[in-house]
Amino acid sequence: MRPLTLALALMAFTACASAQPPPAPVTPDWWRAHVAFMGGVWVAPNPEGENDPNAPDAFGMEWRAANEGHGLIGRLYGLEAGREIAEYWTFREFWHPGERRVIVQQWGGPGVYGAGETTSLAPDRGQLDQTFWLPDGRSWREGHRTEERGDVYLTEVYDIDAAGAWTLRSSNTWRRVAGG
């Protein structure tokens, strides 16, 4: 190839390559809406029928958006007479652009770790499937199904058995008390 022809070919290739930037990762609208919804402080009374005498009167959750709406940072804590008495869990939820899914991670207690995935079931409804590990390596699965209604957040907690069957364990009605 002659030098002038080669130079023209390289210029044309460079122009085409620079005219088309690589596609940006697309964060789903349902995830962005969920991040915006969760911001703030939420409180739920201890579920009816709770038998643990050491359980608090209520639970609080605090969430804030991170990384320009791609993630959430949160925590769950106990309340007694309106005062925080203990923190139980810290959370990270984020849109993974490479895997194109929402990853959830949480830490609590004496070295307990949980990881899973959140999916959208319908507008304002979600599902979380997680595996938890104890420090000695034992594990179990839990699921959550959620519904978002203005300043109310409904959650159901499920045990998931080895065959994948979901059994309802508890439910909570959270009310936003700050933020939003």
pLDDT in tens, 20-58: 666 665 899 999 999 999 999 999 998 766 677 788 999
Q: Would you kindly state where each structural domain of the chain is located, as residue ranges? A: 27-178
Q: Are 46 and 58 in contact (CB under 8 A)?
A: yes
Contacts 24+ apart (CB under 8 A), 75-80: 76/108, 79/43, 80/56
pLDDT tens per residue, range 90-136? 999 999 999 999 999 999 988 999 999 999 999 899 999 999 999 99
As assigned by CATH, the class of the 27-178 domain is: mainly beta
pTM of the model: 0.82
Question: Looking at this protein, which amino acid is placed at residue 88?
Answer: Y
- 29 φψ region: left (φ > 0), alpha (ψ -120 to 50), beta (else): alpha
Sign of the dihedral defined by the CA atoms of residues 117, 74, 167, 145, in that order: negative
Exposure of 2 in the CB half-sphere (CA atoms within 13 A): 2
Q: Write the burial class of residue 93 (CB in 10 Å: 0-12 exposed, 13-18 middle, 19+ buried).
A: buried
Per-position DSSP letters for 23-46, written without gaps between them: PPP---HHHHHHHHHH-EEEEEEP
**Within the chain, where are the H helices?**
3-19, 29-38
